[in-house]
Structure 1
Amino acid sequence: MTVFPPARHDALELEELFTPEEKAIKARVRAFAEQHAAPIINKYWEKAEFPHELRSKFGELGIGGAHIKSHGCQGLTTMGAAAAIVELGRVDGSLSTFFLVHSYLGVMTLGLLGSEAQKAELLPGLSNFSKVAAWALTEPSNGSDASALTTTARKVPGGWILDGRKRWIGNATFADVVIVWARSSETGQVNAFIVRKGNPGFRATKIEHKISLRCVQNADIHLTGAFVPDADRLPGVESFADAAGMLAMSRCMVAWQPVGLVTGVYDMVLRYTSQRRQFGAPLASFHLVQERLARMQATIQAMYLMCHRLSQLYDAGRMSHEQASLVKAWTTARAREVVALGRECLGGNGIVADFLVAKAFVDAEAYYTYEGTYDVNVLVAARGQTGYAAFKTAGRANKAPPPTH
Structure 2
Amino acid sequence: MPALEADATFGFDPYAITGAHLSPAARAALARLQRTLDGSIRPLLAQAWETATMPPEVLDALIPLDLMQPEGMDAAEARSSVFSGFRNYVLARTDVSVATLYNAQSGLFRTAVTLGGSAEQAAGLDPRVRSFELKGVFALTEPEHGSDIAGGLATTARREGDGWVIDGRKKWIGGAAASDVLVVFARDVDDHAIKAFLVPTDAGGVRVQAMTGKVALRPMQNAVIALEGVRVAETERLQKVNGWPDVSRILRAMRSDVAWIAAGLQAGALDAAVRYVRERHQFERPIGGFQLVQEKLARMLGNTVASLAMVVQLSAQQDRGEFADENSALAKMQNARLARETVALGREVLGGNGILLEHDVARFFADAEAVYSYEGTHEINALIVGRALTGASAFT
Aligned counterpart for 2:141 among listed residues 138, 142, 147: 138
Q: Is the 8 A contact 2:269 2:346 kept in 1?
A: yes
Does the CA contact (< 8 Å) of 1:110 and 1:119 recur in 2? yes
Q: Check the 8 A contact 1:73/1:124 in 2, yes or no.
A: no
Matching of residue 11 in structure 1 with residue 23 in structure 2:
no
User: Contact 1:176–1:197 at 8 Å: present in 2 too?
Assistant: yes
Kept in 2, the 8 Å contact 1:64–1:126? The answer is no
Q: CA deviation at 1:74?
A: 8.8
- Matched with 2:184 is 180
C-alpha displacement of 1:83? 1.5
* Deviation of 1:119 (Å): 4.0
Quick one: structure 1 residues 125 and 78, their matched pair in 2 at CA, closer, same or farther if it must change by over 3 Å?
same
Spell out the pairing of 1:89-108 with structure 2 (5 A cutoff): 89-108=92-111
How many residues of Structure 1 are paired with residues of Structure 2 in the alignment? 385
**Match for 2:326: what amino acid?**
E
Contact map agreement 1:105 1:250 (CA 8 A) in 2? yes
Decide which of 339, 342, 345 is 1:338's aligned counterpart.
342
In the alignment, structure 1 residue 47 sits paired with structure 2 residue 51: yes
Secondary structure in structure 1 of the residue aligned to 2:395: coil
Which amino acid is the alignment partner of residue 265 of structure 2? Answer: L
Q: Pick one of 128, 133, 138 that aligns with 2:131.
A: 128
Equivalent residue for 2:114? 111
Tell me the residue number matched to 1:20: 24
Q: 1:115 to 1:320 in 2, by over 3 A?
A: closer
Q: Which amino acid aligns with 2:38?
A: E
2:265, 2:216 → 1: CA distance? 13
- Give the equivalent residue in structure 2 for 1:369: 373
Q: CA deviation at 1:63?
A: 2.1
Question: Does residue 31 of the first structure (1) align with residue 10 of the second (2)?
Answer: no
Q: Which runs of 5+ in 1 are unaligned?
A: 393-405
Q: Once the two structures are superposed, what CA deviation does each residue of 1:216-273 show, in whole Å capped at 9, x if it has no partner?
A: 1111110000011121111121111111111001001111101110111111111110
Equivalent in 361, 380, 385 of residue 384 of structure 2: 380
Which of these residues, 278, 283, 308, is aligned with residue 304 of structure 1? 308
Alpha-carbon distance in 2 for matches of 1:11, 1:131? 40
Cα-Cα RMSD: 2.1
Name the CA distance, whole Å, in 2 between partners of 1:82 and 1:304.
10
Alignment of 1:101-250 (within 5 A): 101-115=104-118, 118-119=121-122, 122-148=125-151, 149-250=153-254
Match of 2:322 among 310, 318, 322: 318
Are 2:118 and 2:240, in contact at CA under 8 Å, matched by a contact in 1? yes
Contact 1:270 1:293 in 2 (8 A): yes
State the match for 2:80 in structure 1: 77
CA–CA separation in structure 2 for the residues paired with 1:120 and 1:327: 31
Q: Per the alignment, in what secondary structure is the counterpart of residue 381 of structure 1?
A: helix
Q: Does the alignment pair 1:59 with 2:63? A: yes
Amino acid at match of 2:204: P
> Any idea what the Cα deviations from partners look like across 1:331-389, whole Å, max 9, x if unmatched?
00001111011001111110011111001001000110011101111111111101111
- For 1:176-214, what per-residue CA distance to the aligned partner results, in whole angstroms no more than 9, with x for missing partners? 111000011332211100001211111111111011111
Distance 2:115 2:78 in 1: 12
Q: Which has the higher helix share?
A: 2
Change (3 A) 1:121 1:316: closer
Percent of aligned pairs with the same amino acid: 37
Deviation at 1:101, TM superposition (A): 1.8
TM-score of the two chains, using structure 2 as the length reference: 0.92
Q: Deviations over 1:108-166 (max 9, x none)?
A: 22123324554455433321224321011111111011112011111112210000111
Give the Cα–Cα distance (whole angstroms) in 1 for the partners of residues 78 and 281 of structure 2: 48
Greater alpha carbon shift after TM alignment, 293-302 vs 326-335 = 293-302
Greater mean deviation of Cα atoms: 255-264 or 101-110: 101-110
For residues 120 and 16 of structure 1, do their structure 2 counterparts lie closer, same or farther at Cα, with a shift above 3 Å needed? closer
8 Å CA contact 1:64–1:74 kept in 2: the answer is: no
- Paired residue for 2:256? 252
Give 2:3's aligned residue.
Answer: none
Equivalent residues of 2:7, 2:13 under 8 A apart: no
C-alpha distance in 1 between matches for 2:69 and 2:125? 11
8 Å CA contact retained: 2:332, 2:381: yes
What CA deviation, in whole Å up to 9, does each residue of 1:30-55 have, x standing for no partner?
11211111011111111111221222
